Amino acid sequence: MKRRSGLGIGLLTIMYGLFFNPAVGNAQMDAAGNKVNAGLKIPEGFNANILIDNLGQTRHLLITPQNDIYVRLAKLHDGKGTIVLHESNGKAVIKSTFGNFTGTGVYMRNGYLYTSSNTEIYRYKLDEQNEVINPEAPEVVVKGLVDRWQHNTKSIMMDNEGNLFIPVGAPSNSCQINDRVVGSLGMAGCPLLDSAGGVWQFKADKLNQTYSDGVRYATGLRNVVAVDWNTQTNQLYVMQHGRDQLNNMFPQYYTFKQSAELPAECMYALKKGDNAGWPYIYYDGFQKKKMLAPEYGGDGKKEGAAEFLEPTASYPAHMAPNGLLFYTGNQFPAKYKNGAFIAFHGSWNRSPEPQAGYFVVFQPFKDGKPAGDWEVFADGFSGSPEKTASGRADRRPCGLAQSADGSLYISDDVKGAIFKITYSGEFTSNKTEVQTGMKSIISSTKVTPNMAGNSKTPPAIKKTTAPAKLNLSAGKALYVQNCVACHQVDGGGVQNLNPPLIKTSYVLGDKTKLINVLLNGLNQVEVDGEKYSNVMPPFSHLSDKQIADVLSYVRNNFGNKASLLTEKEVSTARAKK
């Protein structure tokens, strides 16, 4: 498979055919007669199998030598947050469940299983078969970690000396005084970095630790979910989720397209005391420069301080790297040994440009350093190129794990499948052609008219369902400029992050309540039983007419049909604030 280099992503050269086979382990054939393994497109000689499906939002996972699979969940499964599977004959069955808390991290070392909630790290004693001895009585290793809904997951990694490394995401986009508010500047010294936005080091064998017992190992990392220990370099590696919404926050400096393609998602090799620079800088993967953030005086052209850590490698913007695995097995061809697999969960914040990601890539390494361009290893999780572009993916890869025999396991954070990829045939690295070169995601992705756009000419949005007599063009333009980045072109929002606008009570219900959402903003909102973590800033800077226009558009689009709002209704609500 040839490279998808730098920041370029192309369409698959083969259509996926029938999305995902519900029958475990059966390969499919696409329209061109090519083998599609468990709905995935993978290099020649590899085989993919769905061991089990419909577990829910599976996060990180690990495989024991006894072929048991420990899986962490973002939502409870029958009241439990950890599932234990047993794999046999190409299938996995649920063996047990335990833990009344959800979370992401899971790790096994020295006779203990470590798991995380969003605020604590727990451990369970294991027996000789690596089974939890007392699943209802975990010990608390670390407590009191920051959880303010946004970027709150806690991954787990260890070194060989008994040190425990826990990334703590910053509950902010860019450490603005008013988070995600247009034009708001950054907080001086970014006080969030005292307890978040970095990696903390604790002792794996000490109980009831708090921040005061740990060490801030590295800082300036906005949000880290993907983490692994590189045994070649004896060093911690992490993948950072880059900041969002450059155009929304500072439209005078960035177009829609620039906002979609900046900043790069970065891999960092960390040493104690390192500072990767968030929120003061972001990394431009096209120019290969650290740029000064607009919240701290940047204008899209000024470079940031040279003292901040250089990334080890960079990848396209907003693709959300959630899994990182250095492959140490012997089953795969030699080119994969000691290289890195990265699971990209997929973007949501490239609107109105097409979304991207939803795949697992491979980054070759040599002598502990990236050697050559990354390439797509497993694609097709979304279901089709159209579903990728819209962000409405059937599946999203999240966790990566390696078994003792060198097989690769991938968790799906939508329906809850566990994929297993093995190698059994002749490897041909250039079997499939893909896009190459430093092309933008947009230029190498099929763009339909309702996806293209820039800051001057808003893209067309799905035709309104409102009566033809209604003129909602002003509201449409306001929606594109202010709302589409979070709520998406189709109004569907983003799972766990931004609520949908489609036939929800808060959109179609009381007008004054809806107006106040724009005037006051929302924080940690719950809609129809689902929690959404991203902050919605107030849009009180919009005029009464503009608020009436955009809300009228929302109430009469995306399948909604409700009465229009008037400028007077907004004025009355504003006066009562």
CATH code at position 399: 2.120.10.30
Q: Which two structure tokens, joined as six digits, stand for 24?
A: 């475990």
- Tell me how far apart the alpha carbons of residues 28 and 257 are, in angstroms, rounded to a whole number: 36
Handedness of CA 175, 179, 183, 188 (dihedral sign): negative
Helix, strand or coil, per DSSP, at residue 302: coil
85 and 228 inside one domain: yes
Output the pTM of the full model.
0.81
The mean per-residue pLDDT over the stretch 358-362 comes to: 98
Closest CA relative to residue 404, chosen from 33, 52, 68: 68
The contacts of residue 15 (CB under 8 Å, 6+ apart) are: 30, 31, 32, 384, 385
Give residue 499's pLDDT.
84
Residue 454 domain flag? no
Task: Report CA Rg, the chain.
Answer: 23
Closest CA relative to residue 358, chosen from 318, 331, 403: 318
Handedness of CA 180, 7, 308, 146 (dihedral sign): positive
pLDDT digits (tens, 9 = 90+) for 411-469: 999 999 999 999 988 655 544 333 333 344 434 444 332 322 333 334 444 444 444 44
| Phi, psi for 518 (deg, rounded to 5) | -75, -35
- Tell me how far apart the alpha carbons of residues 124 and 142 are, in angstroms, rounded to a whole number: 13
333 and 417 inside one domain: yes
Give residue 557's pLDDT.
85
Averaged confidence pLDDT in the chain: 86
> Phi/psi zone of residue 383: left (φ > 0), alpha (ψ -120 to 50 degrees), beta?
left
Q: How many domains does the chain have?
A: 2
352 and 490 inside one domain: no
386 and 496 inside one domain: no
The mean per-residue pLDDT over the stretch 535-564 comes to: 86
Give residue 6's pLDDT.
41
Helix, strand or coil, per DSSP, at residue 379: strand
Residue 466 domain flag? no
The mean per-residue pLDDT over the stretch 76-96 comes to: 96
Q: Render 41-98 in DSSP notation, one character per residue.
A: B--TTEEEEEEE----SEEEEEE-TTSEEEEEEEEEETTEEEEEEEEETTEEEEEEEE
544 and 411 inside one domain: no
Sequence-ordered alpha helix ranges (H) in 312-452: 385-390
Give residue 490's pLDDT.
82
- Tell me how far apart the alpha carbons of residues 77 and 26 are, in angstroms, rounded to a whole number: 26
Give residue 229's pLDDT.
98
Q: Which two structure tokens, joined as six digits, stand for 561?
A: 């049909």
| Range name among 10-14, 119-123, 354-358, 491-495 with the lowest pLDDT average | 10-14
Residue 355 domain flag? yes
Q: State which residues form the domain around 144.
A: 28-423
In the predicted structure, residue 1 carries a pLDDT above the cut 80: no
Residue 450 domain flag? no
Give residue 573's pLDDT.
84
Furthest CA-CA distance within the chain: 73
pLDDT digits (tens, 9 = 90+) for 217-274: 999 999 999 999 999 999 999 999 999 999 989 999 999 999 999 999 999 999 999 9
Residue 458 domain flag? no
416 and 483 inside one domain: no
297 and 381 inside one domain: yes
pLDDT digits (tens, 9 = 90+) for 152-207: 999 999 999 999 999 999 999 999 999 888 889 999 999 999 999 999 999 999 99
- Tell me how far apart the alpha carbons of residues 434 and 443 are, in angstroms, rounded to a whole number: 14
In the predicted structure, residue 406 carries a pLDDT above the cut 90: yes
